[in-house]
Structure 1
Amino acid sequence: MPSASSASSADSDSGEPVPSAPSSLWRDADFRRLWVGQTVSQLGEQACTVVLPLFAVLTLDAGAGQLGALRAVGQAPLLLLSLFAGAWVDRWPTRTVMVLTDAGRALALGATGVAGLLGLLGLPALLVVAFAVGALSVFFAVAYQASLVRLVAREQLVRGNSALEGSRSAAQIGGPALGGASVSLLSAPIAAASSALFFALSFLAIRRIRGREPIPGRSQRPARTGRRIHEGLRLVVGDPLLRTVGLASAAFQFSFAAMMTVYLLFLPRELHLSGTAIGLALAATGPGALLGSLLAARLPSRFGYGPVLVCAAVLGDGVLLSVPALHGSSAVTVLALLAVNFVFGTFGQLVNVTVMAVRQAVTPDGMQGRAAATITFAGMGTTPLGSLLGGFLAAEWGLRGSLLVTAAGMMLSPVLMALSPLARLGRVLPASRDAGPTGSSPWIRTP
């Protein structure tokens, strides 16, 4: 893991000691509150990924181009705000950031529910809501990743990441199923209001975190935002492992966004599945992700981080190539989708947890937020373009052919991993190196 330093050592430039961690993370009240808040927030976010697109498709009769635009608008903040979010989170308590973003998302979705019940919710309003929720989710995601490093001892990071990623996996089980079922059985306004409740619960849990966060570099005169963003970019571009993570993430997320746009049209219009069946099919990634979290705690240390990353990416991405071969809405088709999504969730989560461990290992404490945000920018920032491409391909080439092409594009990610130093990582993570006095890392190379 990132270092062998004691939990009681000074944390970067803050001069404040990190409290010794309890023998078990679950005895740490602040960690439990973070875990609960992150879990229900992820549940609401996962529900929204189904509620808003299905509202557009099933209620507003949105076409392929309109659905692609909706998904692109919701993902645009990843491109526009990720770098700023990283620089901002590194200077502020993560608790404050998470509480504010939870409150904002709850209000936005609550207002959507009211507007929908009054018959005032159309596609333009849905675009505004999608952008607002996406923007606030960017800040929450960067904050919760950085919060763990500040709240627990470094030797507890593996267990902490496993718990948080496990809860995210659980959210992948419940979120899509709840979203699809609520739209199908109730109504889109009630589904939106239900998602707002999850963010409200997360707000209540996270605001109860009492521990004082040691914020690296906070005692110094704050650097300009542009300079701090540049430091994050230098770190990721200058380090071969982080650079590969960013490039592989960009290739995967671009193709995955295009594939999902086609996929969400393919399931109801080509296979004629109901909203409930779609939600259940998507939710199958959750149990797989739980298994992937368990495998991530064992396989890399046994077979090596590099081989596990490459093999898991090949298996997880490759299984989606079988989806275009499915026909009809029979029980066999639904079972096949459940199996495909389970395999995708298992190996996708194995990649996610392993990559996160590598990133945290080579990133200095004072750069955790900016490193996470820069990689998010490089990877998730491509998703709006991918969503637009998916909508265009679906309209011009048809659903089945477009699904095959976009799924094949996802295989570029494991190819990039296999050709990089990431594939040669062994069974022990690289040692971390301390940040310099300005919060930047002295060992990175200038691009």
Structure 2
Amino acid sequence: MPSSSSTGSDSGRPAPPSLWRDGDFRRLWAGQTASQLGEHACLVVLPLFAVLTLDAGAGQLGALRAVGQAPILLLSLFVGAWVDRWRTRTVMVLTDVGRALVLGAAAVAGLLGRLGLPALLVVAFAVGALSVFFDVAYQASLVRLVKRDQLVRANSALEGSRSAAQIGGPALGGALVSVLSAPIAAASSALFFALSFLSIRRIGRRESVPERSERPPRVWRRIQEGLRFVAGDTSLRSVCLASAAFQFFFAAVMTVHLLFLPRDLHLPGAAVGLVLAATGPGALLGSLLAARLPSRFGHGAVLVSAAALGDGVFLLVPALHGSSAVTVPALLAISFAFGAFGQLVNVTLMAVRQTLTPDGMQGRAAATINFVGMGLTPLGSLLGGFLAEAWGTRTSLLVTAAGMLLSPALMALSPLARLGRTLPAPPEAPASPEAPAPSV
């Protein structure tokens, strides 16, 4: 892109009419929405299958969830390097087919009574691994489908559908298990991936991908290029550090939060679930706000202020006492505000990252930031549990919630805070010494 571009318009809708008239974008949006519904339904269907059908214990259930999340840490960097060498449409349709087949096979095996816990662990890992491929590919594909001055609105539309999937997916998965059965619910999740496949395969726009050479660069070299690119760009490095700080302390906060609600506030399980679910509607609002606030007030101002408000609202939780009639509405408001401001930050940061990254680096930049950001979450969870045992839940929640403010502080001290209403053009992609430069 030769010059800076505007990222907004006067419209308050998630995307301007010109964007929605783009059939390829609509197909990507529909496919991503179906994929997210299937993915979030699986987060409930597979654990319920283990508990209700296989009578899994708490430790086994924890292992199942960990195995499903492990691909984020194990594969993200490799996936980023690989996706940048292929057409994203091809990656997405293949992963949709793979997830549909895996879940379909699991459903058949479950109906026949031949799906044990070891096989379910394999299913969880396979679905998680393919989802990493899909998520990195769809983020990279957006830059190849829409103009850079439409990225904020396009991300707002996609993140809005993802937020809706976060609300409806688990509820749908739980309802299918209750009304039908766990194996049939798994088959229903496979249908969502099939729908995603049918939509994304109809994307007709050809993508520019790097030319193939007789000696393609080794995957480790491509990973190193992605790491060096993110580390060498001050804005992207700040995104990485702020994301890592947030994920670390948020993992600690949630560990203590899940102890604080039932033990200190004596909330029943249904009330705890309701409180946690309130972040979903807030995220929908945040997606809508992200379509217009950065172009009106500036990307930097929105990032810092929204992160400070969203993270700081958790400081109110340790101050709550009294009956559930008082605490539950307050907790619902806190969760809603956290979801709204948090999603506003997420959408804006994604647009910043995509705009500042050359097309040939999109997959690796996304994977690098995801890897660094999510890599600290296990340590954060351990810290939250340790502090809760040593200091008690109320004090620990206050300390870890205060730690979340490190993320907006890092952004405020970085070049991100100085981003205005328009975003600068990306630098040229670094040329690989073992391969020709990407074609345009």
TM-score normalised by L of structure 2: 0.82
Q: Does 1:179 align with 2:170?
A: no
- Over 3 Å counting, the alpha-carbon distance change for 1:331 and 1:171 in structure 2 is farther
Match of 2:136 in 1: 142
What displacement does 1:210 show?
2.2
Whole-angstrom CA distance in 2 between matches of 1:55 and 1:387? 25
Amino acid at match of 2:26: R
Q: Does 1:35 align with 2:23?
A: no
- Over 3 Å counting, the alpha-carbon distance change for 1:183 and 1:414 in structure 2 is farther
Q: Do 1:258 and 1:406's aligned partners in 2 also have CA atoms closer than 8 Å? A: yes
What displacement does 1:195 show?
2.6
Whole-angstrom CA distance in 2 between matches of 1:109 and 1:267? 34
Whole-angstrom CA distance in 1 between matches of 2:120 and 2:388? 21
- Over 3 Å counting, the alpha-carbon distance change for 1:252 and 1:111 in structure 2 is farther
- Over 3 Å counting, the alpha-carbon distance change for 1:393 and 1:372 in structure 2 is same
Alignment of 1:207-222 (within 5 A): 207-218=201-212, 222=216
Whole-angstrom CA distance in 2 between matches of 1:56 and 1:263? 25
Match of 1:243 in 2: 237
- Over 3 Å counting, the alpha-carbon distance change for 1:330 and 1:107 in structure 2 is farther
Match of 2:72 in 1: 78
Q: Secondary structure at the match of 1:24?
A: helix
TM-score normalised by L of structure 1: 0.81
Match of 1:133 in 2: 127
What displacement does 1:430 show?
2.5
Whole-angstrom CA distance in 2 between matches of 1:347 and 1:122? 42
Match of 2:300 in 1: 306
- Over 3 Å counting, the alpha-carbon distance change for 1:120 and 1:295 in structure 2 is same
Q: Does 1:378 align with 2:369?
A: no
What displacement does 1:369 show?
1.2
Amino acid at match of 1:349: Q
Q: Does 1:161 align with 2:142?
A: no
Match of 2:85 in 1: 91
Q: Do 2:4 and 2:424's aligned partners in 1 also have CA atoms closer than 8 Å? A: no
> Structure 1 stretch 261-270 or stretch 421-430: which is displaced more?
261-270
Q: Secondary structure at the match of 1:287?
A: helix
Whole-angstrom CA distance in 2 between matches of 1:326 and 1:216? 55
Q: Does 1:271 align with 2:267?
A: yes
Q: Secondary structure at the match of 2:269?
A: coil
What displacement does 1:92 show?
0.6
- Over 3 Å counting, the alpha-carbon distance change for 1:254 and 1:32 in structure 2 is same
Q: Do 2:153 and 2:290's aligned partners in 1 also have CA atoms closer than 8 Å? A: no
Q: Does 1:285 align with 2:286?
A: no
Q: Does 1:227 align with 2:205?
A: no
Amino acid at match of 1:222: P
> Structure 1 stretch 354-363 or stretch 248-257: which is displaced more?
248-257
- Over 3 Å counting, the alpha-carbon distance change for 1:46 and 1:366 in structure 2 is same
What displacement does 1:53 show?
5.1
Q: Do 1:262 and 1:399's aligned partners in 2 also have CA atoms closer than 8 Å? A: yes
Query: Given the alignment, which residue of 248, 251, 263 partners 1:254?
Result: 248
The answer for unaligned runs of 5 or more in structure 2 is 6-15, 435-440
Whole-angstrom CA distance in 1 between matches of 2:432 and 2:104? 42
Task: Kindly tell me the number of residue pairs found equivalent between the two proteins.
Answer: 421
Query: Given the alignment, which residue of 188, 199, 218 partners 2:193?
Result: 199
The answer for unaligned runs of 5 or more in structure 1 is 7-21, 441-447
Amino acid at match of 2:167: I
Whole-angstrom CA distance in 2 between matches of 1:326 and 1:69? 33
Deviations 1:94-150 (A, max 9, x none): 111111212222233334444555555565444433322221111111100111111
Q: Do 1:252 and 1:410's aligned partners in 2 also have CA atoms closer than 8 Å? A: yes
- Over 3 Å counting, the alpha-carbon distance change for 1:393 and 1:96 in structure 2 is farther
> Structure 1 stretch 334-343 or stretch 317-326: which is displaced more?
317-326
What displacement does 1:280 show?
4.9
Query: Given the alignment, which residue of 301, 307, 318 partners 2:312?
Result: 318
Amino acid at match of 1:273: G
Match of 1:425 in 2: 419
Match of 1:151 in 2: 145
What displacement does 1:186 show?
5.3
Q: Do 1:316 and 1:347's aligned partners in 2 also have CA atoms closer than 8 Å? A: yes
Whole-angstrom CA distance in 1 between matches of 2:43 and 2:97? 18
Quote the RMSD (CA, aligned, Å): 3.6
Q: Do 2:35 and 2:96's aligned partners in 1 also have CA atoms closer than 8 Å? A: yes
- Over 3 Å counting, the alpha-carbon distance change for 1:423 and 1:156 in structure 2 is closer
- Over 3 Å counting, the alpha-carbon distance change for 1:243 and 1:306 in structure 2 is same
Q: Do 2:4 and 2:422's aligned partners in 1 also have CA atoms closer than 8 Å? A: no
Whole-angstrom CA distance in 1 between matches of 2:61 and 2:351? 35
Whole-angstrom CA distance in 2 between matches of 1:31 and 1:3? 23
Whole-angstrom CA distance in 1 between matches of 2:29 and 2:184? 26
> Structure 1 stretch 32-41 or stretch 295-304: which is displaced more?
295-304
Whole-angstrom CA distance in 1 between matches of 2:148 and 2:2? 7
> Structure 1 stretch 185-194 or stretch 100-109: which is displaced more?
185-194
Q: Do 1:69 and 1:387's aligned partners in 2 also have CA atoms closer than 8 Å? A: no
- Over 3 Å counting, the alpha-carbon distance change for 1:153 and 1:306 in structure 2 is closer
Deviations 1:177-200 (A, max 9, x none): 323444556554444333322222
- Over 3 Å counting, the alpha-carbon distance change for 1:201 and 1:268 in structure 2 is farther
Whole-angstrom CA distance in 2 between matches of 1:52 and 1:321? 34
Deviations 1:145-188 (A, max 9, x none): 11111123333333322221222122223123323444556554
